[in-house]
């Protein structure tokens, strides 16, 4: 199980206790949205049928192809980035390429590097209408049709909401393989749906264990709520307007970006919200940490470290680096919470990501905003 150390959060028990009514109310909202099924991310770790279907389709993909190109953006890509980086199986032979932006140079580079005869495209979009993703799909489909002709349909897997959007229209018209994103699961809360699960199964990640860890976080989310309360109070009463996510371990490199999207897009509303900043230890001890310690006192840091194996000198040094930075921050008036991962396996990562989704939803309820919508993001989409 992941463990939390709140001893350097610099909040008095009395301040936490004074918020107990609001905390109880926010927890009751979480319970209601979970039990009523109104908010779908809670149920994803328990979807056995999806697990089996992902396995069946992935088996065929792994057998037929060398490359899997995922086209998607925002909530439809960053969770996969984080988990594929952290859990990449050493014996995996399927190359995974994730393309978010319609940058012509990157797209051309991919098309030059791969053999489309041996390539599967998994296009992922909840709305089925996001311009970057649908344009990328058109581009890749043109190239694919040129190369494999009528057989192009066997190379495409579509992950999108049912009965809605351009992509679902394509599924129906061309009878493509389709994974559904449930209507009540929002983009940045969708990593445990087929959005993450299918491509992760394709590269050989043990998704059953991943969901087991996520389910553990659903069953016990006291620490998620406590951490949300701490972040809320530090922001509201102590001017901590920046939430730094500092991870120790190269496998966690993409986790910070996933957290940044979740925290910013869920909570940045109605003039409220904390700006997330992802960074890495120990590298950023030699750059950004100067600012954390001696710059404006506007930050709360979450440190994430991996418990070292006994006798693992490098792992022990990583842990000392993390502890030292937390201590130096504390002494400089920069509060922090430290999360320790027992190891870098599927269960632990499942628990870590689900804990942060719950923390985010809970904090949104404490703030009195809707953590699940993204009206400003939709505004930009309309201008394109």
CA-CA distance, 106 to 355, in Å (whole number)? 34
Nearest to 62 by CA among 202, 206, 205: 202
Residue among 74 and 350 whose Cβ is closer to ligand PA5 = 74
Q: How far is the CB of 27 from ligand PA5 (least distance, A)?
A: 24
CA-CA distance, 260 to 24, in Å (whole number)? 26
Q: Which range binds ligand PA5 by CB under 6 A, 17-25, 72-80, 289-297, 345-353? A: 72-80
- Among 62, 188, 240, 365, interactor with ligand PA5 by CB under 6 A: 188
Binding status of residue 76 toward ligand PA5 by CB under 6 A: yes
- Among 10, 84, 133, 360, interactor with ligand PA5 by CB under 6 A: 133
Computed on alpha carbons and rounded to an integer, the radius of gyration of the chain in Å comes to 21
Q: Which range binds ligand PA5 by CB under 6 A, 19-27, 69-77, 169-177, 277-285? A: 69-77
Q: Which range binds ligand PA5 by CB under 6 A, 68-76, 269-277, 284-292, 336-344? A: 68-76
Binding status of residue 348 toward ligand PA5 by CB under 6 A: no
CA-CA distance, 215 to 209, in Å (whole number)? 10
Q: How far is CA 96 from CA 8, 78, 114, in A?
A: 39, 14, 11
Binding status of residue 274 toward ligand PA5 by CB under 6 A: no
Q: How far is the CB of 125 from ligand PA5 (least distance, A)?
A: 3
Q: Which range binds ligand PA5 by CB under 6 A, 48-56, 70-78, 112-120, 316-324? A: 70-78
Q: Which range binds ligand PA5 by CB under 6 A, 125-133, 223-231, 239-247, 322-330? A: 125-133
Binding status of residue 376 toward ligand PA5 by CB under 6 A: no
Which of the 8 DSSP states describes residue 309? P
Nearest to 351 by CA among 315, 308, 304: 304
CA-CA distance, 384 to 381, in Å (whole number)? 6
Residue among 45 and 74 whose Cβ is closer to ligand PA5 = 74
Residue among 223 and 357 whose Cβ is closer to ligand PA5 = 357
Q: How far is the CB of 107 from ligand PA5 (least distance, A)?
A: 17
Q: Is the dihedral of CA 99, 105, 108, 109 positive or negative?
A: negative
- Among 100, 186, 347, 351, interactor with ligand PA5 by CB under 6 A: 186
- Among 74, 79, 335, 371, interactor with ligand PA5 by CB under 6 A: 74
In contact, 264 and 54? CB cutoff 8 Å: no
Q: How far is the CB of 74 from ligand PA5 (least distance, A)?
A: 3
CA-CA distance, 253 to 280, in Å (whole number)? 7
Q: What are phi and psi of 120, to 5 degrees?
A: -110, 140
174 alpha-carbon distance from chain centroid: 31
Taking each helix axis from N to C end, the angle separating 194-202 and 48-64, rounded to the nearest 10 degrees, works out to: 40
Binding status of residue 265 toward ligand PA5 by CB under 6 A: yes
Which of the 8 DSSP states describes residue 86? H
Binding status of residue 10 toward ligand PA5 by CB under 6 A: no
Which of the 8 DSSP states describes residue 30? H
Q: Which of residues 307-346 bind ligand PA5 (CB under 6 A)?
A: none
Q: Kindly determine how many residues on this chain lie close enough to bind ligand PA5 according to the rule CB under 6 A.
A: 15
356 alpha-carbon distance from chain centroid: 9
Pairing of strands 336-341, 3-5: antiparallel
Which of the 8 DSSP states describes residue 44? G
Residue among 69 and 300 whose Cβ is closer to ligand PA5 = 69
Binding status of residue 249 toward ligand PA5 by CB under 6 A: no
- Among 119, 122, 127, 274, interactor with ligand PA5 by CB under 6 A: 127
Q: How far is the CB of 284 from ligand PA5 (least distance, A)?
A: 25
Active site residues: 265, 286, 381
CA-CA distance, 71 to 57, in Å (whole number)? 18
Contacting residues for 372 by C-beta, under 8 A, at least 6 apart: 39, 186, 189, 266, 361, 364
Binding status of residue 75 toward ligand PA5 by CB under 6 A: yes
Binding status of residue 99 toward ligand PA5 by CB under 6 A: no
Question: Would you tell me which residues interact with ligand PA5 (CB under 6 A)?
Answer: 73-76, 125-127, 130, 133, 186-188, 265, 374, 377
């Amino acid at each position: 199980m992941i463990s939390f150390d709140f001893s350097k959060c610099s909040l008095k028990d009395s301040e936490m206790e004074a918020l107990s009514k609001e905390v109880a109310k926010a927890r009751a909202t979480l319970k209601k949205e979970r039990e009523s099924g109104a908010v779908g991310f809670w149920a994803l770790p328990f979807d056995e049928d999806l697990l089996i279907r992902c396995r069946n389709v992935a088996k065929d993909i792994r057998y037929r192809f060398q490359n899997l190109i995922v086209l998607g953006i925002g909530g439809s890509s960053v969770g996969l980035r984080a988990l594929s980086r952290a859990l990449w199986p050493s014996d995996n032979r399927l190359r995974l390429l994730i393309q978010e932006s319609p940058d012509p140079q990157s797209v051309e580079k991919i098309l030059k590097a791969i053999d489309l005869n041996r390539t599967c495209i998994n296009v992922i979009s909840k709305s089925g209408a996001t311009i970057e993703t649908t344009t990328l799909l058109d581009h890749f489909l043109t190239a694919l049709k040129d190369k494999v002709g009528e057989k192009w349909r066997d190379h495409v897997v579509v992950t999108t909401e049912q009965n809605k959007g351009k992509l679902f229209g394509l599924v129906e018209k061309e009878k493509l393989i389709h994974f559904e994103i449930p209507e009540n699961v929002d983009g940045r809360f969708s990593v445990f749906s087929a959005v993450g699960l299918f491509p992760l199964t394709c590269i050989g990640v043990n998704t059953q264990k991943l969901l087991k860890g996520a389910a553990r976080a659903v069953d016990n989310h006291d620490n998620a709520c406590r951490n949300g309360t701490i972040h809320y109070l530090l922001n509201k009463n102590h001017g901590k307007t920046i939430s730094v996510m500092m991870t120790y371990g190269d496998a966690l490199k993409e986790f910070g970006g996933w957290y940044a999207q979740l925290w910013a897009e869920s909570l940045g509303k109605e003039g409220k919200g904390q700006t997330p900043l992802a960074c890495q230890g120990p590298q950023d001890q030699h750059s950004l940490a100067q600012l954390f310690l001696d710059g404006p006192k506007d930050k709360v840091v979450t440190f994430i470290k991996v418990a070292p194996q006994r006798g693992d000198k490098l792992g022990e040094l990583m842990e000392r680096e993390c502890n030292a930075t937390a201590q130096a921050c504390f002494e400089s008036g920069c509060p922090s919470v430290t999360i320790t991962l027992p190891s870098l396996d599927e269960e632990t990562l499942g628990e870590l990501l689900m804990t942060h989704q719950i923390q985010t939803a809970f904090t949104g309820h404490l703030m009195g905003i809707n953590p699940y919508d993204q009206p400003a993001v939709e505004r930009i989409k309309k201008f394109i």
